[in-house]
Amino acid sequence: MPKYRRYVFGDFTGYLLDPRFTDTSHDLVAIRHSSAVSHWSDQYIHSHGESEEYYLLLEGQMDLIIEDEIWTLKPMEMLMVRPTIPHAVIGGIGPIKHFVFRAPAAADWQTQNEMPEFYFVPESQDQREVLKEWGFRCSLRSHQNMNCWLTGIGSARNWSTDFLFAYLDYPTYEEANAGIGARHKLYLHRSSWEYYAVLEGEKTLQIETEMVSVKAGELLEVPPGVKHFMAGRKAPYRGLMFRVPVLLDKETI
């Protein structure tokens, strides 16, 4: 198994990682990216028997039906739909640039209903932070949702045992590199896979004995058992960090 794998998502539309369509070593997460595509509508309202589905919108607007309600997603917002909840994309405003994460990447698509012929998208949904039984919607521009575990266990803002996720936003060099050298040591995860996606700036990791740079528009995968640590960032820095599954399996070297 390689020490790491690099994916380029900048201008790419399609699956970066999915056991149905790509060469991957696990079925713990599926990752799809779109770059400047027109708005669309799913063919059916559907649910997933086991997996959580996350929509992270970078540009444009997406409209979704979840159960019997319409919800909009605006730039730099994230929406999570829990297993068994009927939902579908029903439109939006393009061009759309977004990620979809599904954890685990189970073959659990279940058609629920045909799409409605007519629907009404509310003009205003002023309360952007929403927590429901079906999941949540939140703004990544809100400081409370930056630089922390947004999903996961323990102190994470939203509970998930399948997807540990953080959005990182550091406008200055000092913020982007605070504590490096004092607290960053080589570590590994015994069973989980770690991912770093850079939206703006650049991140450098030491992976085993190699220094590896991750630039804007790139995603880096680090398998279990591989020693690594974050060696530095170029600011302004914006990026994603996630790990699957959610395990307390970190081992400092």
Which tokens in the block code for residue 15? 């699956």
- Classify domain 165-252 at the CATH class level: mainly beta
117 φ/ψ sector (left φ>0, alpha ψ -120 to 50, else beta) = alpha
DSSP 186-248: -EEESS-EEEEEEEEEEEEEEETTEEEEEETTEEEEE-TT--EEEEEEEEEEEEEEEEES---
Please choose, from the candidates 113, 105, 125, the residue with its C-alpha nearest in 3D space to the C-alpha of residue 87.
Answer: 113
- What pLDDT is stored for residue 104 in this prediction? 98
Low-confidence ranges of the chain (pLDDT < 50): none
For 39-67, the pLDDT digits (tens) are 999 999 999 999 999 999 999 999 999 99
Which tokens in the block code for residue 244? 């699957």
CB count in 10 Å sphere of residue 242? 25
Strand-strand pairing, 158-159 and 149-152: parallel
- What pLDDT is stored for residue 184 in this prediction? 67
Q: Would you say the CATH fold of 165-252 matches that of 11-111+129-147? A: yes
CB count in 10 Å sphere of residue 166? 19
Which tokens in the block code for residue 40? 């669309």
Strand-strand pairing, 135-139 and 87-103: unpaired
At residue 49, the 3 state secondary structure works out as coil
For 106-139, the pLDDT digits (tens) are 999 999 988 887 777 776 777 889 999 999 999 9
Please choose, from the candidates 15, 12, 24, the residue with its C-alpha nearest in 3D space to the C-alpha of residue 221.
Answer: 24
DSSP 156-197: -SEE-SS-EEEEEEE-SHHHHTTTTTTT---EEESS-EEEEE
- What pLDDT is stored for residue 114 in this prediction? 84
Q: Which residues pair with 251 in a beta bridge?
A: 188
Residue 62's H or E segment, with its range, is: strand 52-66
Which of the following CATH numbers is that of domain 11-111+129-147: 3.40.630.10, 2.102.10.10, 1.10.10.10, 2.60.120.10?
A: 2.60.120.10
Tell me what percent of the residues of the chain surpass a pLDDT of 90.
87
- What pLDDT is stored for residue 182 in this prediction? 61
Ordered by start, the domain boundaries in the chain are 11-111+129-147, 165-252
